[in-house]
Amino acid sequence: MQDTPIDTTEMHILELNTQYLGVSLGMLMQGAGREVARTIIQKEKVKRKHIAILCGPGGNGGDGMVAARHLQEAGAHVAVAYISAEQTISSTDTLFNWEILKNLHDIERIVLKAESAIKHWNSLQESDIAIDAILGFGVKSKLREPILAAVKAFNKSSAIKYAIDVPTGIDADTGEIHGDAVKANYTITLHAPKPGLLKAKDYVGKLYIVPIGIPPEAECICGPGDVWLFNRPRAADAHKGDFGRILVVGGSDIYSGAPALAGLAALRTGADLVSVLAPESVVTAIRSYSPNLMVNSMGTRILMRESATAVLDAAEDADVLALGPGLGLDKETGAAVISIVAELAAIGKPMVIDADGIKSLSSSGVKFDPARNILTPHWGELEILLDENLGDSTSLENRIQHSIKAALEFNAVILLKGPVDVVVHPDGRYKLNRTGVPAMTVGGTGDVLTGIVAALLAHGHSAFHAASAAAYISGSAGERAYSELGNHITATDCIANIPCAMDEYD
């Protein structure tokens, strides 16, 4: 349970990651219903009181059905109405609890399909306490019948009125009233307040926050919920480029594979177009890896000051720049990196900076935008970035604290790679990713992660969200490759498993 408001997107991410930890939505529903009933029992003398509960098709309705059992156990006379036809129940957990109520003859149970039936439901008119469990959060459009009639009848009741989570009809994020809304005396919100509740106080009444059994660890773990944000169906009228134009700047007169791996990973993650800008000496080699990559020369042997203009020009047409794979450590390259990054950071260009690009930033004084920019070091690169010995690399707490330090110094999201990846925002938020296997120490897996991050960042969600999802996907793809090939995996095996890693919990 927390006091900080959480919007519907973050709540859904949290619920999915809670499931990932083994706590099912059904378990949360049982906890929510119990806590709703407990709150009402503490506030009201429910024994022999008449309580009417109006339930809808989703999880909110299920919460009300669970609360009904606990209130009846406390001595109340409970009546539960399902608004609409039974076949509209959309949650399997809600249906499970509705079937339980069918076995409990001491709890009145009724299906109200029509406006007239709702208006003449005596149990609501005669109730001492009425509970709104119709829709909860997720309402984004005007209420329709028969739910609109249920809201109106609920508001006309002389009963003391409670709403579960969010009064029906209120947008949980904005507080907007969608045509009409329940006017509650009390709202019992689940796990955390929703932003809209703080903007619609006349409808919310007094606000209570109750725990529902979400483990604290679910708040700070990378999981399927983070991936869900980037896995929404594409519109039928989508066009080429709508899902990301990625520019990878990397390679040197020595390295050609790193930028190619980053580019191929970005494509497998769902980016529409990937261009690689590389030194002239490796352009042909990179082109040979795949016809799906658009490869151009920066016109020089390595990245240097005179090739910076080519990078900046190419970046204008890209949604995200991935900078660093295989660049090398020539002093000329380091100076060019700082020049490019400083200029693009000043205009807010989304960037992922990895490998040799990170090493060039130490003591540069460059400041980023943490909503758009991600640095992806491993422990050795973090030491170079902060220009100090960071101590015990095996201590997770030490890794978190120094990642926070780097995030603050550069004002960027840090994705620290390791046995447990650490994703940190300068505001102190962090997530831990526990997917992955030791076999991923093979060369090139860091470049694959860079490509995944870049592709996700192009969706327009925050850099923190993109880094969290990318860490999970990269590790999960590695696990899948390992399950097939053991310790003999390569970076390209990980790339091949990216789609399955993303679709597993779609």
Name the residue among 469, 476, 471, 424 with its Cα closest to residue 446. Answer: 471
Per the CB < 8 A criterion, the answer to whether 263 and 352 are in contact is: no
Cβ-Cβ contacts under 8 Å for 38 (sequence gap 6 or more):
70, 210
Tokens of 464: 């923190």
pLDDT given for residue 232 in this prediction: 84
How many residues can be counted in the chain?
506
pLDDT given for residue 449 in this prediction: 98
Note the pTM of the prediction, 2 decimals.
0.94
Q: What are the average pLDDT values for consecutive 10-residue runs of the chain, which has 506 residues?
A: 86 96 97 98 96 96 98 98 94 96 96 92 95 88 91 96 97 92 97 94 96 96 96 85 93 93 98 97 95 96 94 97 95 95 97 95 93 98 96 97 98 98 97 98 97 97 98 98 97 98 76
Q: Which string of DSSP letters, residue by residue, matches 139-206?
A: --S---TTHHHHHHHHHH--SEEEEESS-TTB-TTT--B-S-----SEEEEESS--GGGGG-HHHH-E
Per the CB < 8 A criterion, the answer to whether 390 and 409 are in contact is: no
SS3 415: strand
pLDDT given for residue 55 in this prediction: 97
> Vertex 228, ends 225 and 230: CA angle to 5°?
130
Query: Using the 8-state DSSP alphabet, how is residue 361 labeled?
Result: T
Walk me through the domains of the chain, giving residue ranges and CATH numbers.
8-220 (3.40.50.10260), 234-388+431-503 (3.40.1190.20)
**Strand order in 294-297's β-sheet?**
294-297, 273-278, 245-249, 320-323, 351-354, 373-376, 413-416, 421-424, 430-433
pLDDT given for residue 246 in this prediction: 98
pLDDT given for residue 505 in this prediction: 58
501 vs 226: CA distance, rounded Å: 12
pLDDT given for residue 242 in this prediction: 82
100 vs 94: CA distance, rounded Å: 10
